[in-house]
A = this chain, B = another copy of it.
């Protein structure tokens, strides 16, 4: 669609796809996990280390960046890549989700959303046109349309109204998008847990035409079982030849299950946030896949988090040392656990891509059955 922005599928394994996105700042191997860099930083990580984990792309947030440091400043520095010195691709979220979840005193009209900053209460306005303009200032490789997210659970009527408004906003978003070689814009399918609405939403987006399609309104409290039920049909409404992006997902087992259902891209704060709250992800065969390093049982544990992990923390430090750092509230705990988690997530994606290439994703996915839905505290 957009010139110089492409997606090729190199291998399929049932519904799962192995592919590659090419965009202005480089290539993205899919299925891909995008670390979240909300405020122009992947929290507690140097960019050099984010890259070393294997991330091809990170995510930035219109909502946060328009408040701090402001999109005009970032534009003045030549865009977000240059401002934060991350030369590889960036996808930016449009702010639609954050104005609903973070800001207060919202006034939603067909025109857009008026809201107060969660930082200082100052008044701001976001509309499809304004969000797309900000993403242009940020020089985002992948712009997301500005949509209206409904909370979960939502009645059919609430969800239908949000789909209707989001479709109108999708059209305005596309019209506001300035085409440049290598830059793409993605639509966002909404419709809550209603199959009919997911279909209506998809058709409208496909009519407008986008470079990729996100699935929004999931991972908002419905649980993995319902999410997978929705994905079972929601993905089929989207074009085969375009990348599919499940927003805000998730735990390792969520990601594996979604790839099995045909999803190509993910983003989530779980690996970074967990790194700041003492939780480390490990292969599912170890401790059920999650280690809470604060637990007293690790006090004298000489093993690394995961003996097969190649990250800096696992190559250099014991669980006992990480336990000590965490109990002592040392910044290094957040640094090492975050890096481990991001490395683990990229390892997971490498393994998923390999499994698809080998036609063995279902077998690989079976390892994740041990995951307890409630294992992440």
- Residues of A participating in the B interface, judged by any CB pair closer than 8 Å: 39-41, 43-48, 68-69, 73, 76-77, 83-85, 276, 299-300, 302, 312, 316-318, 320-321, 323-325, 327-328, 330-332, 334-336
Cβ-defined partner of A43 (8 Å) among B83, B85, B302, B331: B331
Q: Is A41 a contact partner of B332 (Cβ separation < 8 A)? A: yes
A168 to chain B, nearest CB (A): 34
Q: How many copies does the complex hold?
A: 2
Given A312-B46, A312-B48, A331 and B321 touching (CB < 8 A)?
no
* Bound Cα distance from A300 to B75, whole angstroms: 11
* Bound Cα distance from A120 to B207, whole angstroms: 64
Residues of B close to A318: CB separation below 8 A: 77, 83
Q: Is B45 a contact partner of A332 (Cβ separation < 8 A)? A: yes
Residues of B close to A44: CB separation below 8 A: 331-332, 335
18 chain-A/chain-B pairs, Cβ below 8 angstroms: A40-B324, A40-B325, A41-B325, A41-B330, A43-B331, A44-B332, A45-B332, A46-B335, A46-B336, A68-B327, A73-B320, A76-B300, A77-B320, A83-B324, A84-B317, A331-B331, A331-B335, A335-B335
A331 to chain B, nearest CB (A): 4
Residues of B close to A48: CB separation below 8 A: 312, 316
Q: Is A85 a contact partner of B317 (Cβ separation < 8 A)? A: yes
Residue from A68, A77, A300, A324 with most neighbouring chain B CB atoms (10 Å) = A324
* Bound Cα distance from A83 to B317, whole angstroms: 8
A46 to chain B, nearest CB (A): 7
Residues of B close to A316: CB separation below 8 A: 47-48, 85
Known pairs A44-B332, A46-B336, A69-B327. 20 more at Cβ < 8 A?
Answer: A39-B325, A39-B328, A39-B330, A40-B324, A41-B332, A46-B335, A48-B312, A68-B324, A69-B299, A69-B320, A73-B300, A73-B320, A77-B320, A83-B320, A84-B317, A85-B316, A85-B321, A331-B331, A331-B334, A335-B335
Residues of B close to A40: CB separation below 8 A: 321, 324-325
